[in-house]
């Protein structure tokens, strides 16, 4: 195994305290709470509180990760945020968060890779650290899916709001990010998308009347593709790391639904007790899924020095990414 020199030295996460249950969604959308819980495995999800924004969630998750890493915001060299729900189109979410947390010495930018935003951000930041351009990075995945969710549509049951963060540092340790893989395929732009509010369909009364400013998802096609791509992407990172699935202590995946994740785990020959699940309480929080789940098991004390963790995700576009991390500093 190649010596790794970019380690995760802190994790953090944040979810709003406003809970949306399956019973709540039955009141506005054509959905069934028994089906949502038994098939999707989602019991509830979180929604932004009044006067709360994506940057607020990001800042809180970021500060918690920095506290664990014993770093001050002023020490951050690079701040990258994966998101599809920035506070504003301009300026970037990362610069807003930079101001909120006081990371005045950082270079800050966003990455839009849909649900793969966190993994794309982590892989991008790793290159800067590998090349000695920066010594550390704060990576955040954050999405307020409630702002683009149509609560009259059945797809509303999938999504929630959350943020998660990690701090990366250069290190001479044998631990760290062992391998990464990512890719994209732009042939599927209409399967998961929001038409309205941008250059193709600028904001207008017609756009709102036609509900084009809400996210649409063609579930069957999305599920078929995810079932193929998630195992493929994880295998690519495992091959690069020269390890097998038997050597993984945990799989930290995207959180679309439990039925899909069970099938992907079966394809990868990974026992269900190794798959970290957060979708039951938080739904699909897009870019936040992986860092939220990672912070969960980290703060529960489940991660031990030398543990190998697989991360894998797929997002609209398509975009996909994976990584193998050996835990510890």
CA pseudo-torsion sign 14, 17, 23, 27: negative
Neighbouring residues of 162: CB distance < 8 A, sequence distance ≥ 6: 13, 14, 15, 16, 46, 57, 142, 143, 282, 285, 288, 289, 292
**pLDDT of res. 190:** 85
Token pair, residue 315, equals 């997002």
What is the C-alpha to C-alpha distance for residues 221 and 170, in angstroms, rounded to an integer? Answer: 40
pLDDT for position 220: 81
The kind and range of the H/E element at 111 are strand 107-111
**Minimal CA–CA distance to 314: which of 224, 249, 238, 201?**
224
Mean pLDDT of the chain: 95
Range in 136-140, 196-200, 252-256 the model is least confident about: 196-200
pLDDT tens digits, one per residue of 200-251: 889 999 999 999 999 989 878 889 999 999 999 999 999 999 999 999 999 9
163 phi and psi angles, rounded to 5 deg: -145, 145
- What's the mean pLDDT in 176-185? 97
User: Please, are residues 11 and 166 in contact by the beta-carbon 8 Å criterion?
Assistant: yes
Residue by residue, DSSP assigns 3-53 as PP-EEEEEEEEE--SEEEEHHHHHTTSS--HHHIIIII---EEEEPPTT--
- Separation in Å, CA 73 to CA 97, 100, 101, 137: 11, 10, 6, 11
Contact 309, 249 (CB under 8 A): yes
What φ, ψ does residue 288 adopt, rounded to 5°? -80, -15
Mean pLDDT calculated for residue range 167-171: 96
Per the document, the length of the chain is: 329
User: Which CATH fold would you assign to the domain 6-175?
Assistant: Peroxisomal Thiolase; Chain A, domain 1 (3.40.47)
**Which pLDDT score, from 0 to 100, does residue 188 have?**
79
pLDDT of 219: 75
Tens-place pLDDT, residues 80-129: 999 999 999 999 999 999 999 999 999 999 999 999 999 999 999 999 99
Instruction: Give the residue carrying structure tokens 């038994």.
Output: 38
Query: Which active-site residues does the annotation give?
Result: 115, 254, 284
pLDDT in the model for residue 197: 86
Percent of the chain with pLDDT over 70: 99
Compute the half-sphere exposure of residue 270: CA atoms within 13 Å on the CB side of its CA: 29
> Among 257, 299, 263, 248, which Cα is nearest to 277's?
257
Domain ranges of the chain: 6-175
129's tokens = 């650290």
CA atoms within 13 A on the CB side of 10: 25
């Amino acid at each position: 195994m190649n010596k790794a020199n970019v380690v995760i030295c802190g994790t953090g996460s944040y979810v709003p305290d406003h809970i949306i249950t399956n019973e709540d969604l039955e009141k506005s959308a054509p959905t069934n709470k028994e089906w949502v819980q038994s098939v999707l495995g989602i019991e509830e999800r979180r929604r932004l509180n009044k006067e709360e924004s994506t940057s607020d969630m990001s800042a809180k998750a970021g500060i918690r990760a920095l506290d664990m890493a014993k770093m001050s915001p002023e020490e951050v060299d690079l701040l990258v945020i994966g998101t599809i729900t920035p506070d504003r189109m301009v300026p970037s979410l990362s610069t807003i968060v930079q101001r909120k947390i006081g990371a005045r010495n950082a270079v800050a930018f966003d990455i839009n890779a849909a649900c793969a935003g966190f993994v794309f951000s982590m892989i991008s930041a790793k290159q800067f650290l590998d090349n000695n351009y920066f010594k550390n990075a704060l990576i955040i995945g954050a999405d307020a899916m409630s702002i683009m969710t149509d609560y009259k549509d059945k797809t509303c049951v999938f999504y929630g709001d959350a943020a998660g963060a990690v701090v990366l540092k250069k290190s001479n340790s044998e631990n760290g990010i062992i391998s990464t893989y990512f890719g994209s395929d732009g042939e599927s732009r209409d399967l998961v998308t929001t038409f309205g509010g941008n250059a193709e369909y600028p904001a207008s009364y017609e756009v709102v009347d036609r509900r084009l400013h809400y996210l649409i998802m063609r579930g069957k096609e999305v599920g078929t593709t995810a079932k193929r791509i998630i195992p493929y992407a994880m295998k690519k990172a495992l091959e690069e790391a020269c390890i097998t699935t038997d050597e993984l202590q945990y799989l930290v995946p995207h959180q679309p639904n439990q039925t899909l994740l069970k099938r992907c785990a079966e394809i990868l020959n990974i026992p269900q007790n190794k798959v970290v699940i957060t979708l039951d309480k938080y739904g699909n929080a897009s870019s936040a899924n992986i860092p939220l789940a990672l912070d969960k098991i980290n703060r529960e004390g489940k991660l031990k020095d030398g543990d190998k963790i697989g991360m894998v995700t797929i997002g609209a576009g398509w975009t996909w990414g994976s990584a193998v991390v050996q835990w510890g500093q």
